[in-house]
A and B are shown apart, each in its own frame.
Chain A
Amino acid sequence: MAVFSIPNVRLSAVSAALPCQEVRNQDLDLPDGAHLEAFARAVGIHNRRIAPPAICASDLCVAAARCLLDRIGLQPSEIGILVFVTQTPDYPLPGNSMLAQRQLGLAESAYLLDLNQGCAGYVYGLASLAGLMSATGIEKGLLLAGDTLTRIVSSKDGSTLPIFSDAGSATLLERAAQCELMYFNLGSQGEGADIIRVRGGGARQPFGPDSLVMSEEARNVIRAPIHLSMRGMDVLQYCSKYVAPNVKELLAFAEVEIDTPDYYVFHQANRILNDCLVRRLGIPVDKVPETLSEYGNTSCATIPVTLCRRLGKQLAGGSTSLLLSGFGAGFSWGSALISGKSVLCPEPLEIDKANGR
Chain B
Amino acid sequence: MQRDTIDVQRFARNLERYLESPVPGGLDVKTRFQDLPGWTSLQALIVVAGFECDYGVTVSEDEFREANTVEDLYSAVVRRLAE
Instruction: Please measure, in the bound complex, the distance between the C-alpha atom of A39 and the C-alpha atom of B49, giving whole angstroms.
Output: 14
In contact, B49 and A276 (Cβ under 8 angstroms): yes
CB distance from A232 to the nearest CB of B (A): 4
Given A39-B42, A236-B45, A279 contacting B53 (CB threshold 8 A): yes
The distance in angstroms between the C-alpha atoms of A262 and B42, with both chains bound, is 32
Determine whether the beta carbon of A221 is less than 8 Å from that of B49.
Answer: no
- Nearest neighbor of B45 in chain A, beta-carbon distance: A232
Task: Indicate if B44 sits at the interface (CB-CB under 8 A).
Answer: yes
A130 CB, min distance to chain B CBs, angstroms: 33
A32–B40 CB distance below 8 A: yes
Rounded to whole angstroms, the CA-CA distance of A159 and B42 in the bound complex is 7
Q: Are B49 and A275 in contact (CB under 8 A)?
A: yes
B74 on the A face (CB < 8 A): no
- The B-contacting residues of A in range 140-160, CB under 8 angstroms, are 158-159
Residues of chain A with a CB closer than 8 A to B77's CB = none
Find out whether the CB atom of A158 lies under 8 angstroms from the CB atom of B48.
no
Residues of B within 8 A of A158 (CB): 40-42
Q: Is the CB of B58 within 8 A of A240?
A: yes
B40 touches A220 (CB 8 A): yes
A32 near B38 with CB under 8 A, answer: yes
CA distance A34 to B38 in the complex (A): 8
Per DSSP, are chain A's interface residues mostly helix, strand or loop, or mixed? helix
Contact B59 A237 (CB under 8 A): yes
Is A204 interfacial (CB 8 A cutoff)? no
| A221 engages B52 (CB within 8 Å) | no
Indicate if B61 sits at the interface (CB-CB under 8 A).
Answer: yes
CA distance A129 to B20 in the complex (A): 46
Cross-chain contact B45 with A272 (CB below 8 angstroms): yes
Residues of B within 8 A of A34 (CB): 38
User: Are B40 and A233 touching (Cβ within 8 A)?
Assistant: no
Q: Which residues of A contact B49 (CB under 8 A)?
A: 236, 272-273, 275-276
User: Do A234 and B39 have beta carbons less than 8 Å apart?
Assistant: no
Q: Which of B30-83 contact A (CB under 8 A)?
A: 38-42, 44-46, 48-49, 52-53, 58-61, 64
B52 touches A240 (CB 8 A): yes
User: Cβ of A221: which chain B residues have Cβ within 8 Å of it?
Assistant: 41
Interface set of B (CB-CB < 8 Å, partner A):
20, 38-42, 44-46, 48-49, 52-53, 58-61, 64
Closest 6 CB pairs of A and B: A237-B58, A233-B61, A272-B49, A231-B61, A232-B45, A35-B38
A/B interface sample: 6 pairs, CB < 8 A: A158-B41, A220-B41, A232-B61, A233-B61, A236-B48, A279-B53
Beyond A159-B42, A232-B44, A237-B59, list 19 extra A-B contacts (CB 8 Å). Answer: A35-B38, A35-B40, A38-B42, A39-B40, A43-B42, A158-B41, A218-B40, A219-B41, A231-B61, A232-B61, A233-B58, A233-B59, A234-B61, A236-B58, A240-B52, A241-B58, A275-B49, A276-B49, A279-B53
